[in-house]
Chain A
Amino acid sequence: MKDPKNIRVVVGMSGGVDSSVAALLLKEQGYDVIGLFMKNWDDTDEFGVCTATEDYEDVIRVCNQIGIPYYSVNFEKEYWDKVFTYFLDEYKAGRTPNPDVMCNKEIKFKAFLDHALKLGADYIATGHYARVEFIDGEYKMLRGKDRNKDQTYFLNQLNQKQLSKVLFPLGHLEKKAVRDIAKKVGLATATKKDSTGICFIGERNFKEFLSHYLPAQPGKMETMEGKVKGEHDGLMYYTIGQRHGLGIGGSGDPWFVIGKDLKRNVLLVGQGFDNEYLYSDSIIATNVNWISDRTKPKEFSCTAKFRYRQPDHKVTVIQLENDRAKIVFDEPIRAVTPGQSVVFYNGEECLGGGTIDQIFKNGKRLSYVG
């Protein structure tokens, strides 16, 4: 075993409490730690204020407290080409993209990893709540010990090569413990609010942000039976199963988004949380990635999540050609949404995942969902 002081770890620091504590813990363990901030987006406003600049200020403060050098790297171009373009394309196609999954795949564990290796890194580390363990001759990604914070859902596209270079110092910690460590040491980011939503949108209004890039086309809201219930602001502003923001009043159960008719620019709505149209029993997923390199049976059972923080559902996976898979649910599942990730688990272990593409019920494709 190499002396930790001869092992260089480049920590991806965002200016948040998680990555701050990740860096602190590695430093305490004696590694040669370097803090590296990624600038992926420029949102400089007319007063010259830029979120990235403020976050970097926090990175500087924390690194000086811990006593590690800090640097910054500009991935604006890579982020635009690989993540933001995908994000807009998915919305144009009427789907609900998951930019965090793409950011991990293309930026944090690709561009950033490559950059860190050029700085002589043996490992990179991030503040993700997930664990990596070397078991039976291969790297396994395990759920974060804090079940409420587990981020393996967003890391489903990683592979063996990436995992062999990654440390997740927070994987075995509860979020509360992380905050407590930060407070005890007095880190500048100890009480900083967790970032919410999509990183490049931040606290801003989602609708307004999106309207800068995609023209909004208002249209009608209809029930599955074709009854007009109102107007929508643009299909891209809605996701399957959404309740808020529809503005349909009246008596009876609340209204939910059930689907989209892209051709007619109609938003399909229905009444009741458990509306039958919201349920499906199988899907086709694309871009399916398995974390293990070992061949899997063509058909096997496991559990799956269809959105972040959803409880696991029992499913059967049937592998298809071209990195696609059919996933059959043991029980019907509500509001499975095209564009989101389906992520597979076996107990503690995250097996991998893919993109939800087509949705079925009773063998029939639900074309209204996407």
Chain B
Amino acid sequence: MDTIYLDHAATTPVHPEVVREMVGCLEKTYGNPSSIHGIGRQARRLVDQARNLAAQSIGAKFNEIIFTSGGTEADNLALIGTAFANRNRGNHIITTSIEHPAILQTCKYLEINGFDVTYLPVDSSGRVDIDTLKKHLRDDTILVSVMYANNEVGTIQPIQEIAQLLSNHSAIFHTDAVQAYGLLPIDCEDLGVDLLSVSAHKINGPKGIGFLYAKNGVKFTPHQYGGEQERKRRAGTENVPGIVGFAKAIEIMMKKRVENFHRYEQLRRLFIDTLNDRGISFEVNGDLKNGLPHILNISFPETNVEQMLVNLDLEGIAASGGSACTAGAVEPSHVLKAMFGAHSEKLFNSVRFSFGYGLTEENIQKAAEKTADIVKRLTS
């Protein structure tokens, strides 16, 4: 049985061209980019090329890109780095209740260290309200972190409007763009953000590599100590093969972004239409008009997410039920909780399907049909 992989929001298959680039790099370019000899310079050249491309992909400057081990480290660096560096100006931080754990848990850590964090609510579509943000903004607010698009339901946040609101406030503005990067156009200048996190493995690149965009002039302390890599902002010998693979993935993404956006919109439509044809009852969580096209979060009334996911897996469909898990058990999603309240049935009957590279119409049709069959079986 061939598995139909519908969990591209969790991670994506590595593009074959990325694999080729990385293997080539592992075989030939083993140098340390900091070394003063030719072998080292070869590696440095590749890292610089990648940095250039990464900067280009978000309208940033070459020296505004800090390579990290991925999205989580980029988020940690952004929040902890700016919070501690700007402590003399205040200790208030604003974020949202639907951020990825990489942000939420980092904020918990900052709270333990004396910072005051406000977690903004969202509406039932998963969107933050500008006026609510405005109400919570204080003179001692030093940092605002709002994700570009949510990883569980796909809802896109009004980043530009928030940036506008903050344009005459000294707070630093960070956005976690891990899920949005690759599908939404990003120009940091237009967007108005000071910091932005990205991960390679969500765009068919390798795991273990990502970057943080940090606008020139943003006050910032490192929190990993060692050598002088990344202009002293992130110590440690560069993950050269990872960076090279990342660059290839960025290159392909830049060419395909618009096409992919429309393609995933179609696949999402096909999935929904197929479920409708099968006559099962379901409700889409999030906002189809204002959401990432590759994420489809669906509530199936009268079902149980733990039973749904196992049945889907046993039928060869890989989907997901939210984010955080302890001991493998599906915990009620904090995102759906923020959208619908702690007692909503949707917390226990919602499944996330997410689309990406390599999927065909047949795949989607078949997966939706099997999903409908399982729903029928579980609700009969």
- On A, residues with C-beta under 8 Å from B are 34, 37, 39, 42, 44, 50, 52-53, 55-56, 59-60, 69-74, 115, 118-120
Contact = CB atoms under 8 A, between A and B. Distances in A.
Given A73-B306, A118-B307, A118-B378, A37 B328 contact: yes
B329 A72 contact: yes
Contact of B327 (A34, A52, A115, A119): A52
Contacts of A119: 307, 310-311, 314
A120 B313 contact: no
Contacts, number: 52
A277 B167 CA distance: 83
Contacts of A56: 327-328
Given A69-B313, A69-B314, A120-B311, A50 B326 contact: yes
Q: Which of A37, A39, A69 has the most CB of B within 10 A?
A: A39
Given A115-B306, A118-B378, A74 B329 contact: yes
B186 interface: no
A74 B332 CA distance: 10
A39 B307 contact: no
B310 A52 contact: no
B351 to A, nearest CB: 15
B286 to A, nearest CB: 24
A56 B329 CA distance: 10
B129 to A, nearest CB: 32
Contact of A39 (B304, B314, B326): B326
Nearest to B311: A119
Interface string B302-316: 001011011101100
B80 interface: no
A56 B327 CA distance: 5
A73 B329 CA distance: 5
Contacts of B330: 74
Interface residues on B, range: 10 to 19
Nearest to B308: A118
A74 B331 CA distance: 8
A35 to B, nearest CB: 10
A16 to B, nearest CB: 15
Nearest to A60: B328
Contacts of A55: 327
Interface in B328-343: 328-331
12 contacts: A34-B310, A34-B314, A39-B328, A50-B326, A59-B328, A60-B328, A69-B314, A72-B327, A74-B331, A118-B304, A119-B307, A119-B310
Contact of A71 (B304, B310, B331, B378): B310
A59 B327 CA distance: 10
Q: Which of A34, A52, A119 has the most CB of B within 10 A?
A: A119
Contacts of A120: 311, 314
Contacts of B309: 71
A74 B347 CA distance: 14
Contacts of B304: 118
Contact of B326 (A44, A70, A71): A44
Contacts of B328: 37, 39, 56, 59-60, 70-72
Interface string B289-311: 00000000000000010110111
Contacts of B306: 71-74, 115
A13 to B, nearest CB: 11
Q: Which of B313, B314, B327, B330 has the most CB of A within 10 A?
A: B327
Interface string B332-374: 0000000000000000000000000000000000000000000
A105 B326 CA distance: 25
Contacts of B331: 74
A37 B306 CA distance: 12
B326 A115 contact: no
A95 to B, nearest CB: 31
Contacts of B327: 37, 39, 50, 52-53, 55-56, 72
A189 to B, nearest CB: 16
Interface in B129-163: none
Q: Which of B314, B329, B330, B378 has the most CB of A within 10 A?
A: B329
A60 B314 CA distance: 17
A34 B304 CA distance: 19
Given A73-B306, A74-B306, A42 B326 contact: yes
Contacts of A42: 326
Contacts of A60: 328
Contacts of B313: 69, 71
A8 to B, nearest CB: 9
A85 B22 CA distance: 57
A53 B304 CA distance: 22
